Amino acid sequence: MELIKDLNRGQQPFLIRAPGKVIVQATVRGRRQRLSLGRLPHRTNWPVRYRHVLYHSQKAEPVDVIVYRERGFQQPWFLVVPPDSEPWLPTEEVVRLYRQRMRIEHCFRDWKSHLGLRGLRLQVQKPERILRLLMGFTLAYLILLLLGQDPLAEKLRPYFEQPRRRDRHGTPKILSVLSMALYLLSDPRWEQRVQERWIQILSRLVAGRGIATLSSFSP
pLDDT in tens, 157-198: 888 887 776 666 556 677 788 888 888 888 888 888 888 888
Last residue of a domain, one of 95, 116, 150: 95
Mean pLDDT score, 129-155: 81
Mean pLDDT score, 122-132: 65
Q: Where does the pLDDT of residue 217 fall: very low under 50, low under 70, confident under 90, or very high at 90 and above?
A: very low
Q: Where does the pLDDT of residue 53 fall: very low under 50, low under 70, confident under 90, or very high at 90 and above?
A: very high
pLDDT for 144 beyond 90 = no
pLDDT for 210 beyond 70 = no
Q: What are phi and psi of 152, to 5 degrees?
A: -60, -45
Q: Give which of 72, 71, 205 is closest to 147, Cα–Cα.
A: 205
Distance CA 63, CA 218 (A): 53
Q: Give yes or no: residues 7 and 56 share one domain.
A: yes
What's the pLDDT at 215?
41
pLDDT for 60 beyond 90 = no
In a domain, 31, yes or no: yes
Q: Give which of 117, 207, 103 is closest to 145, Cα–Cα.
A: 103
Q: Give yes or no: residues 9 and 88 share one domain.
A: yes
Mean pLDDT score, 55-60: 78
In a domain, 217, yes or no: no
CA atoms lying within 13 Å on the CB side of residue 104: 6
Q: What are phi and psi of 34, to 5 degrees?
A: -110, 115
Q: Give yes or no: residues 83 and 12 share one domain.
A: yes
What's the pLDDT at 46?
92
In a domain, 104, yes or no: no
What's the pLDDT at 14?
92
Beta strands per DSSP E along 15-168? 16-17, 23-28, 31-36, 48-55, 61-68, 77-81
Q: Give yes or no: residues 133 and 188 share one domain.
A: yes
Lowest mean pLDDT among 61-65, 121-125, 132-136: 121-125
Last residue of a domain, one of 39, 70, 95: 95
In a domain, 112, yes or no: no
Q: Is 213 exposed, middle or buried (0-12, 13-18, 19+ CB in 10 A)?
A: exposed
In a domain, 6, yes or no: yes
Domain count, the chain: 2
State which residues form the domain around 9: 2-95
In a domain, 12, yes or no: yes
pLDDT in tens, 71-125: 878 789 999 999 999 999 999 999 999 887 776 666 666 766 666 565 556 566 5
Q: Following CA atoms 166, 168, 169, 171 in sequence, which dihedral angle do they give, to the nearest 10 degrees?
A: -60
In a domain, 146, yes or no: yes
Most confident range (mean pLDDT) of 2-16, 33-47, 129-143, 155-169 is: 33-47
In a domain, 72, yes or no: yes
Q: Give yes or no: residues 31 and 76 share one domain.
A: yes
pLDDT for 143 beyond 70 = yes
Distance CA 25, CA 63 (A): 10
Q: Where does the pLDDT of residue 218 fall: very low under 50, low under 70, confident under 90, or very high at 90 and above?
A: very low
Nearby residues of 59 by Cβ (< 8 Å), 6 or more positions away: 1, 5
Q: Give yes or no: residues 8 and 80 share one domain.
A: yes
Q: Give yes or no: residues 138 and 75 share one domain.
A: no
Q: Give yes or no: residues 91 and 133 share one domain.
A: no
Check residues 104 and 3 and name the one with the higher pLDDT: 3
Q: Give yes or no: residues 142 and 59 share one domain.
A: no
Q: Give yes or no: residues 156 and 77 share one domain.
A: no
Last residue of a domain, one of 69, 95, 121: 95
Q: Give yes or no: residues 136 and 202 share one domain.
A: yes
Single pTM value for the model? 0.56
Q: Give yes or no: residues 192 and 134 share one domain.
A: yes
What's the pLDDT at 194?
87
DSSP-H helix ranges across 38-109: 91-109
